[in-house]
Amino acid sequence: TVENWRKAVKGGFEQELHNYEKCLREQRSWCTAWWLNDLAFAYYVMGGDWDLPSKLGDSEHVDMFSFAYLMDNLSTVSETSQVYTVLTIINTASLRSNSRYLQIAYNIGEDLFNQIRTQGRTAYVSHRRGSAAPISLSANSLALLMFETIDKSLNAEPSPLSEKLANYIAAGGDSSSYRRFYYFGGSKNSVFTMTALTFYDQLRSSSTPDLTLVVPDTDGNDIINERFTSATQPPVTVAEIPWIKLGDHSKPNPIPFTATGFGEASIVLGMNFVPLTLNKNPVYFGLFIEKKLEIVLNGENKPWKTGTVLIPGQTVEITIQVTTPDDLHSVMLSDPLPGGLEVIDPNLDDNFDIPDVTPFPYEPEYYYGDFGGSIGIARPSISVGSSSSSMNKSSRSSPSISYGTSPARFPIWLPYWRWDFPEREYHKDKVTCFDSYLTAGTHTCSYKATVVTTGTFRLPPTKGWAVEQPELMGLSNTDWVEISDRQR
């Protein structure tokens, strides 16, 4: 229960008071961040009226444990601790009546709201403006709770971005990213996630919904006709339907739907389409994908240009470059082979080399005790050995990346080396590249092929997409490839 949690936090914090004081007396450089972050968490749990300084008696540092001192040094704490403090102010009547505190709370809320980045059906709060890296799942959960609490206190309409942020949190945030190698949220992470999503549902009457959703097609038949009466009701999945069933598409035509009752429902519509004409230039819908072809001669790559005739027996290298403005996980590339080319599978070559690793663009991050969980430092190393990856069906062992961890409280340095698209499959008609995590920036996937058949063939576009949000996708440039008759 909440009271048991408060009792545990209160007892633990008061027992640690002598450690905090000792640290302050010794004037260690990291002391301030340590105890101020823990202090923000303690006030969030206990409430703004908690009389903590009285526990210190005649200590010379008694004023440094007051809520007023925390407010005066709020710029030195983490984003999570700032959110703790905002929630403490709004939920405590005596603090909420302080106009200075309330204005600071609204300013922090606005600053963090301006750090939201959207991607498809989700959104997350980044570390700072311009950064593509999200704050932790716990911090995002608390941020959602803060945004909703502020909107409620101001009687304001919730932002459309709140739903996207809730989707991000419900999906586990970036839990499948590189952070999983050295960060584990623990029970605190689960508590904050459940608290934020529960409060979100309560404000929208979705904790105990009674909502009927109807989506018809052009023939008057219902594509969806579902009643939602429970927050735990599973999503409704609709089979594929012909595009023509959704209306006359010679002009803009919205898809009609009606919702009656109370609660919130989300509709996700995806399309499988074959372009009538192929774009010579890349098509961007969240991923910018470019493709180039080079001729391999005497161990060196020579640029291929439109109109250059290939000769059967030559080797070419195809490089796909992906640029993403945000950190993404579970990104798939599918590159159809042009007719006349046959892929070279490096898993069948006893002399193949491990691909070169590329620099990992990172920023140092510091996590303090308020995040909870165990923390370590990750240092990846590449080795050739057996792989349990489901992406690799070859009987030959493939290169794999292993991460070693060592315990550390802080700081955390992100891995500085990274191998782009380590999981690849080579088929007769296509090559697929998969990466469980892509940082914001540019990444490449390359493979070689042999020129085998005479003729003129289309160099088809590469498609890339985020597996869990396929609307984040892109198509590469296209071209024509001419292959001459085989020389005798």
Which pLDDT belongs to residue 419?
63
Determine which helix (DSSP H) or strand (DSSP E) holds 170, and give its type and residue range.
helix 160-170
Lowest mean pLDDT among 90-94, 180-184, 202-206: 180-184
Cis upstream peptide for 411 (omega within 30°): yes
Which pLDDT belongs to residue 4?
73
Numbers of helices and strands, H then E, in the chain = 10, 23
Count of C-beta atoms within a 10 Å radius of residue 119: 20
Share of the chain above pLDDT 90, in %: 38
Residues 6 or more apart from 153 whose CB is under 8 A from it? 90, 96
Does the pLDDT value for residue 327 go beyond 70?
yes
| DSSP class of 441 | E
- Please give the average per-residue pLDDT across 372-400, as a whole number: 34
**Residue ranges of E strands in 204-327:** 210-216, 222-228, 258-262, 283-285, 288-297, 300-303, 309-310, 315-324
Does residue 462 contact residue 477 with C-beta atoms inside 8 Å? no
Does the pLDDT value for residue 53 go beyond 50?
yes
- Please give the average per-residue pLDDT across 103-129, as a whole number: 90
For residues 396 and 178, give the distance between their C-alpha atoms in angstroms, rounded to a whole number.
26
Does the pLDDT value for residue 385 go beyond 60?
no
pLDDT, greater one: 202 or 391:
202
- Please give the average per-residue pLDDT across 159-175, as a whole number: 85
Does residue 446 contact residue 339 with C-beta atoms inside 8 Å? no
Q: Give the tokens for residue 425.
A: 């499959």
- Please give the average per-residue pLDDT across 472-481, as a whole number: 93
- pLDDT bucket at 221, cuts 50 / 70 / 90: confident
- pLDDT bucket at 65, cuts 50 / 70 / 90: confident
Tell me the per-residue pLDDT of 409-459, one tens digit each, with 9 for 90 and over. 333 344 434 468 888 999 999 999 999 888 889 999 999 999 999 999 999
Residues 6 or more apart from 196 whose CB is under 8 A from it? 141, 142, 144, 145, 148, 166, 169
For residues 131 and 110, give the distance between their C-alpha atoms in angstroms, rounded to a whole number.
17
Which pLDDT belongs to residue 15?
67
Does residue 424 contact residue 445 with C-beta atoms inside 8 Å? yes
Q: Give the tokens for residue 346.
A: 């490096």
Which pLDDT belongs to residue 186?
63
Burial bucket for residue 54 (CB in 10 Å: 0-12, 13-18, 19+): exposed
State the Cα angle at 126 between 121 and 131, rounded to 5°: 115
Does the pLDDT value for residue 294 go beyond 50?
yes
Which pLDDT belongs to residue 420?
82
For residue 156, what are the CA distances in angstroms to 89, 151, 166? 18, 5, 18
- Please give the average per-residue pLDDT across 213-227, as a whole number: 84
For residues 354 and 360, give the distance between their C-alpha atoms in angstroms, rounded to a whole number.
17
- Please give the average per-residue pLDDT across 230-247, as a whole number: 78
Secondary structure (3-state) at 36 = helix
- pLDDT bucket at 271, cuts 50 / 70 / 90: confident
- The answer to whether the predicted template modeling score (pTM) of the entire model surpasses 0.75 is no
Mean pLDDT value across the chain? 78
Which pLDDT belongs to residue 249?
65
DSSP 397-436: -EEEEEEEEEE-SS-B---SEE-SS-EEEE-SSEEEEEEE
State the Cα angle at 41 between 36 and 42, rounded to 5°: 95
Does the pLDDT value for residue 213 go beyond 60?
yes
| DSSP class of 297 | E
- Of 421, 435, 417, the residue nearest 361 (C-alpha): 417
- Please give the average per-residue pLDDT across 227-242, as a whole number: 82
